[in-house]
């Protein structure tokens, strides 16, 4: 009875307390965020290179005159890793290359991490919120089976490789033999059962696969984007037409991306895949991926800020050529520029061209990188025929221009396997049909197989096709009569204009002057022109349809101080320097 009386009294007292006292909320859980923990050393760690690296990786290092292994290949110290594991919620990545781990931790845990022996730094991942859920569309209904390819599609399937010199490479016996290409993408659903890739699986050319998000070798799930990308390297139509230039190469397939989302975990997966590709002997990495406004600002596209840009640069130092799509933000007023890792200096960034005009597609992202470096480096068709579950279809995006150029690079490297990777990079740029002209929409243009002929006389210097004529305060560009005559064969019609990627604050007057052309009028081939400042930065550029010989007049006072007017027409490039 005494216990019941005391309980009744206690409940009565509680009833008189304010509601806030009766229902005190539980303390909020400490926020958990992702952190990058870098260690000071790898003391005591060693590596038996022959046991760790695939034979193809060892051969690549010998060709590239690299050591069998260096400290970036050594494992992270187990004691450092154990301490981080004991203090944090989870370790999501262990990177040998950077001697670092990525982990999820609370602020209190981070404070303790910074005091651990051997920890050099603890940095939070960049804190730019992802877009709202509305920006992520709901999964669409399963697509209808693709329709049979029309005649125009079959013609495009042939042209997407023909313009890159497929016939010349084939005649030389170069289709990527001896090269190993890693493809990083969102998924390869249907690749292993699609007839377009049967020739790869018959000869066991897909040598390794790994899903770095689910941590399983099964990559044949998720999206089909990787399937489409792979087809622009090695896919085959039923009539035996190859959709890419490297059907005889070997492949490593890595799933690093989640369809419709951009999470920091995907950058970690990209780095993990790059280390895996290195270990498994990749010569080339094709990455038709990019990260932009969902986590970065345009000024951070400098090749140094993002984890994937730094990982790509290190992959190149390991002797691998990294080829990356420029991105599809060219017509997005809120971004327009390339993403990352395409911003890294040593990454071969590929823009998209219209197959009908061979000029920049509106959606293809513009350069330069925030560091001022030339981007994109090269370009290829941004509209291509690709393999999809159930058949083939026409697809758009720089995602497909990138593997077309990666296949070109494989054929070029096949000719001279001991060529250092950055020398190959330079020679690929020099193979562009616009070289030495470039702009921030086309780069150096379509690469040409003729630039990688195994033997033969040196090519003749380009024949001048125009002249600069200066009078008073104006410089004009005049097409030479012989360049305005129709040759014996018909050239493709090129009649579109690419908008300037970056304009000066004052619009530059530029006008055409009517003048009768001598001889038979040539088809409207494009004339590329630009203004460069004293540092070489392109401050204005355009592509003009040439329908008369006096094509351009520019007021000299409006040339940048110490700058140049540079023009390219029919394979010839020349510059006029400001007085």
Catalytic residues: 185, 225, 399
SS3 content of the chain, % helix, strand, coil (to 5): 30, 25, 50
Which residues on neighbouring strands pair with residue 470, listed in sequence order? 475
Which residues on neighbouring strands pair with residue 386, listed in sequence order? 393
Give Cβ neighbours of residue 29 (< 8 Å, ≥ 6 apart): none
DSSP secondary structure of 420-483: -HHHHHHHHHHTBTTTT--BTTTBT-SB-GGGG-SSSPPPPPPPP-EEEEEETTEEEEEE-GGG
**Biggest CA pair distance of the chain:** 121
- Give the Å distances, CA to CA, from 368 to 143, 190, 437, 438, 561: 37, 36, 15, 11, 21
Give Cβ neighbours of residue 488 (< 8 Å, ≥ 6 apart): none
Cα–Cα–Cα angle for 172, 173, 177, rounded to 5 degrees: 135
| Token reading at 182 | 């890693």
Whole-angstrom distance, CA of residue 401 vs CA of residue 354: 11
- Give the Å distances, CA to CA, from 461 to 251, 438, 458, 464: 38, 18, 9, 9
Residue 99 CA to its chain's centroid (Å): 25
Q: Give one word for 78, left, alpha or beta, with left for phi > 0 and alpha for psi -120 to 50.
A: alpha
Residue 238 CA to its chain's centroid (Å): 30
DSSP secondary structure of 538-570: EEEEEEEE--SSEEEEEEGGGSPTT-EEEEEET
- Give the Å distances, CA to CA, from 201 to 107, 205, 443: 49, 6, 35
């Amino acid at each position: 009875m005494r216990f019941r009386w005391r309980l009744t009294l206690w409940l009565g007292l509680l009833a008189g307390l304010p509601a806030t006292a009766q229902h005190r909320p539980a303390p909020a859980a400490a926020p958990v965020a992702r952190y990058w923990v870098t260690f000071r050393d790898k003391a005591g760690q060693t590596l038996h290179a022959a046991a760790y690296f695939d034979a193809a990786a060892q051969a690549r290092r010998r060709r590239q005159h690299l050591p069998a292994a260096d400290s970036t290949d050594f494992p992270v110290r187990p004691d450092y890793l154990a301490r981080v594991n004991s203090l944090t919620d989870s370790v999501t990545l262990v990177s040998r290359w950077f001697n670092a781990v990525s982990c999820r931790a609370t602020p209190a845990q981070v404070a303790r991490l910074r005091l651990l022996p051997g920890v050099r730094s603890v940095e939070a991942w960049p804190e730019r919120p992802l877009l709202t859920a509305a920006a992520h569309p709901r999964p669409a209904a399963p697509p209808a089976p693709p329709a049979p390819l029309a005649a125009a599609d079959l013609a495009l399937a042939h042209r997407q490789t023909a313009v890159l010199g497929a016939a010349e490479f084939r005649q030389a016996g170069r289709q990527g033999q001896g090269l190993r290409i890693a493809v990083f993408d969102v998924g390869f659903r249907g690749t292993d059962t699609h007839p377009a890739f049967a020739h790869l699986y018959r000869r066991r050319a897909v040598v390794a696969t790994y899903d770095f998000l689910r941590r399983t070798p099964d990559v044949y799930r998720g999206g089909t984007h990787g399937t489409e990308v792979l087809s622009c390297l090695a896919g085959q139509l039923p009539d035996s037409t190859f959709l890419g230039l490297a059907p005889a190469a070997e492949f490593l397939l890595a799933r690093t991306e989640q369809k419709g989302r951009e999470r920091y975990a995907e950058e970690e997966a990209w780095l993990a895949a790059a280390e895996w590709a290195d270990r498994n002997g990749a010569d080339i990495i094709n990455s038709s991926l990019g990260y932009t406004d969902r986590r970065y600002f345009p000024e951070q596209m400098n090749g140094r800020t993002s984890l994937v840009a730094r990982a790509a640069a290190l992959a190149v130092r390991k002797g691998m050529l990294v080829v990356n799509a420029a991105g599809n933000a060219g017509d997005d007023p809120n971004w327009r520029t390339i993403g990352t890792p395409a911003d890294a200096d040593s990454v071969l960034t590929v823009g998209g061209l219209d197959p009908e005009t061979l000029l920049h597609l509106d959606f293809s992202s513009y350069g330069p990188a925030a560091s001022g470096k030339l981007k994109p480096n090269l370009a290829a068709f941004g509209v291509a025929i690709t393999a999809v579950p159930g058949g083939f279809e026409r697809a758009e995006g720089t995602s497909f221009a990138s593997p077309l150029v990666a296949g070109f690079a494989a054929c070029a490297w096949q000719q001279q396997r001991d060529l250092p990777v950055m020398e190959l990079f330079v020679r690929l740029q020099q193979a562009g049909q616009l070289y030495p002209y470039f702009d921030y929409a086309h780069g150096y243009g379509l690469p040409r197989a003729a630039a990688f002929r195994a033997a033969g006389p040196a090519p003749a210097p380009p024949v001048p096709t125009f002249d600069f004529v200066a009078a008073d305060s104006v410089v004009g560009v005049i097409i030479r009569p012989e360049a305005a005559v129709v040759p014996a064969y018909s050239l493709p019609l090129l009649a579109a204009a690419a908008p300037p990627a970056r304009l000066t604050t004052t619009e530059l007057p530029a006008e055409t002057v009517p003048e009768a052309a001598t001889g038979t009028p040539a088809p409207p081939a494009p004339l590329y022109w630009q203004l460069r400042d004293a540092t070489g930065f392109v401050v204005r550029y355009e592509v003009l349809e040439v329908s008369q010989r006096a094509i351009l007049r520019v007021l000299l006072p409006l040339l940048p101080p110490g700058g140049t007017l540079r023009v390219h027409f029919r394979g010839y490039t020349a510059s006029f320097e400001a007085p």
